[in-house]
Structures are given as structure tokens and as C-alpha cells.
Amino acid sequence: MIFSAVRDPYPTRDKSEGALIKRAEPVVYSRWVEDAPLTQAQVSQFDRDGYLVLIDVFSAHELDELRAASERASKNCANTHAGQLIREAANSDGAAQLRTLFGVHGLDGLLKDTASNPRMLEVIQFLLNDQVYIHQSRLNFKSPHYGSGFEWHSDFETWHAEDGMPGMRAISATVLLTDEISAPGSLKFMPRSHRTFVACPGETPDSCYREAFKKQRVGKPPALLLDLLQEHGGVQEVVAPAGSVLLFDCNVMHGAGNNTSDHLRANLFYVYNAISNALNAPYAADKPRPEFLAARHIQPLAAHVPA
Ligand code: 6CS
Ligand code: FE
């Protein structure tokens, strides 16, 4: 087990039964000003809840382009980026649908350029008040009647324990490629949970990530602690039209059920990390995860205005 040289402010997976630790960092790192890329109400809502939906960021035409690029990437990468593809368990006729493709920001073309689209990048740079880079990107598909969900978790707990992310200064921006409707499989959040770090029991097994995306075994918050967070802020479902962008703080508790609906759910995630929050050695894992899950060769993004 590698232990970072500095004291770990968020000890987790350290044989304890779990604990609640007050967040040390701010949520919004900038003071709002008139020319901010978000309204004061939006900034307050993100600060309060830990997530925010920006409606209609991408037009119907841009969405078609993004869907086509996602389709191409999923097909082309099956042979070239095998390690970056996660498939669902095979169904009755043996088909194993694509569930996640990681590292899409490293692919050519639109999926790479979208990471630097100013409509997202300038908002993230404002909220984190720093230059940012892509820690991780992925295409998530949850097929109708098939796509499996994710149990309640904090992304930061994994990124801290397994990737060595020192503090809470990262935000996920999710481009909704399909409508997020209120039906089984919808994305759910615990508002206000981002201000509390939930230390998880258990120890990180070797190459944990290979299985984690099918069945999360560690980094699972204890039920009692989840109940306390839920009592504090409740549970909210995200319902928003395709083309919207869902921003969520690295530490907000979120999850999704199995997609037993007949509606495909497809999302394009970009995880932006502040340059000042670049990764250390893992805080609770033997070795770092691969580059496509946790970027260590980093450079700050510059806004790229789409053609
Ligand atoms: O391990 C990770 O980095 C990923 N795991 C989950 C369940 N959500 C965030 C992230 O993509
Ligand atoms: Fe997650």
C-alpha cells in the first residue's frame, strides 16, 4: 500500500467502518461578477446543491454531430482501444452491448474539440478559478431494458483513493446526448452531499477498475451514512432535454438505477480538474490507474471555438 508523504485529509478504505468528514475546500472558487459565464442564481444553486443543469447548450444540429461522432468512436475503438471499452454482461442471445468508452477527449475531431468548447470550458474555469485539464472523459450508454446502473457513490472518493487527486477542485460536465427522462435508469443526486466526504470501508484490490465499472466493490458509502446525507438534502432526479449540460461537483453523491425503460440513455462526460489539483500518488491503492482513467500527462485547455 503506497501512502502519500503528506497527511491525507480524506482517509478512506483504511479498514475503518466509514466516516463523515467535513469538506475542506470551497465549492465555487470564484466570486460572482457581472460578466461571469453563469447567472448569480446559477452559481448559488451549484454552490448549494453540488450540481446544476444548463439547458440547451448544444443545438439540435450540434447534437446530431455529437451523436454521429459518438457512434463512430464506439465502432472504431472496439479494436483499437480495447482496454478503454467496458461492455455490459452478455444478454440472453450472447450480445454484450457497449457500456462505456473512456478517453474520448484523446480521439480526433469533435469529441476532442468539445472538451474545449467555451460554453463549457469558460464555466468550469470560472467555478474552479484555475486553468483546467481533462482528468477523465467517457461515453456512457445505458441501453433500453439492459443498461445497468451505478450504486450511490462520490467520484472524488475513487479519484482520491485510486488516482491520488488531492482535493475537491474538479467538476464533471455531462453532455446529454439523449433526453434524461423520469424513468428507471435516471441519474439521481443527493443535493448538498458534496460538502461531506464519506470515507468508505474496505481496501482497494489490485486493478480494481477492471471490475469496478461492472460491479462496484469498494468505494461504496455505508448505508447508514447515505441515509444521513439523504435526510439532510433528499434525493433529486435529473430530468432535462438532450443538448443540455449537467455540471456536478466531484464529491456530490450520485447514482442511477438499471435502465428497465425502453429509452436509450447516452451521455458524454468530461471531468475537468484544476491544474493546481493535479494527481499525487494514490492515497489508498497500490498503483496508479491507467492514463485513460486518470490523466497524468497534462496541459491546460484553451478555449476552442467550434467551427
Ligand atoms: O472510477 C471512476 O473514475 C468512474 N466511476 C464512476 C462510478 N463514476 C465516475 C468515474 O467515471
Ligand atoms: Fe460517477
Secondary structure in 3-state letters for 48-61? HHCEEEECCCCCHH
120 DSSP assignment: H
User: Which parts of the chain fold into alpha helices (H)?
Assistant: 40-49, 60-80, 110-114, 118-128, 155-163, 209-212, 223-233
Looking at the CA of 273, name the nearest ligand: 1
86 Cβ inside 6 Å of ligand 1: no
Looking at the CA of 161, name the nearest ligand: 1
Give the pLDDT confidence score for residue 305 in this predicted structure: 79
The set of residues, in sequence order, having a beta carbon less than 8 Å from that of 198 and lying 6+ positions away, is 18, 19, 20, 21, 154, 157, 221, 222, 225, 226, 229, 253
Give the pLDDT confidence score for residue 214 in this predicted structure: 67
Q: Could you tell which of 12, 136, 157, 187 is best to mutate to test the pocket of ligand 1, judged by most ligand atoms within 8 Å of the CB? A: 136
φ/ψ of 254, rounded to 5, equals -145, 165
Distance 75 CA to ligand 1 centre (A): 22
130 Cβ inside 6 Å of ligand 1: no
pLDDT values of the chain reduced to their tens digit, one per residue, 307 residues: 555 556 799 999 987 889 999 999 999 999 999 999 999 999 999 999 999 999 999 999 999 999 999 999 988 887 777 788 888 877 777 777 788 999 999 887 999 999 999 999 999 999 999 999 999 999 998 878 777 778 999 999 999 999 999 999 999 999 999 999 888 889 999 999 999 999 999 888 887 777 777 677 788 899 999 999 999 999 999 999 999 999 999 999 999 988 888 888 899 999 999 999 999 999 999 999 999 999 999 999 998 877 7
Give the pLDDT confidence score for residue 90 in this predicted structure: 76
The three-state secondary structure class of 268 is strand
Distance 249 CA to ligand 1 centre (A): 13
Give the pLDDT confidence score for residue 158 in this predicted structure: 97
Give the pLDDT confidence score for residue 146 in this predicted structure: 72
Give the pLDDT confidence score for residue 296 in this predicted structure: 98
Distance 92 CA to ligand 2 centre (A): 28
150 Cβ inside 6 Å of ligand 1: yes
Q: Which residues pair with 274 in a beta bridge?
A: 132
Cell digits of residue 145: 431494458
Which atom of ligand 1 is the closest one to the Cα of 159?
3
Give the pLDDT confidence score for residue 144 in this predicted structure: 80
Choose among 106, 99, 70, 90: nearest CA to 290: 106
In this structure, the residue with its CA closest to atom 9 of ligand 1 is 155
As a whole number of angstroms, the distance between CA 161 and CA 247 comes to 22
Distance 188 CA to ligand 1 centre (A): 15
pLDDT tens-digit profile of 72-122?
998 888 777 778 888 887 777 777 778 899 999 988 799 999 999 999 999
What is the per-residue DSSP string for 27-82? S--S---TT-SS-HHHHHHHHHHSEEEETT-S-HHHHHHHHHHHHHHHHHHHHH-G
Cα 126-134-45 angle, rounded to 5 deg:
35
Distance 37 CA to ligand 1 centre (A): 27
In this structure, the residue with its CA closest to atom 5 of ligand 1 is 155
Choose among 30, 1, 29, 27: nearest CA to 14: 1
CA quadruple 208, 209, 215, 219: dihedral, nearest 10? 70
259 Cβ inside 6 Å of ligand 1: no
In this structure, the residue with its CA closest to atom 1 of ligand 1 is 158
**Edge-to-edge strands, sheet with 254-256:** 150-153, 254-256, 187-189, 236-237
Q: Could you tell which of 85, 155, 209 is best to mutate to test the pocket of ligand 1, judged by most ligand atoms within 8 Å of the CB? A: 155
Cα 205-209-212 angle, rounded to 5 deg:
90
In this structure, the residue with its CA closest to atom 4 of ligand 1 is 155
Give the pLDDT confidence score for residue 75 in this predicted structure: 86
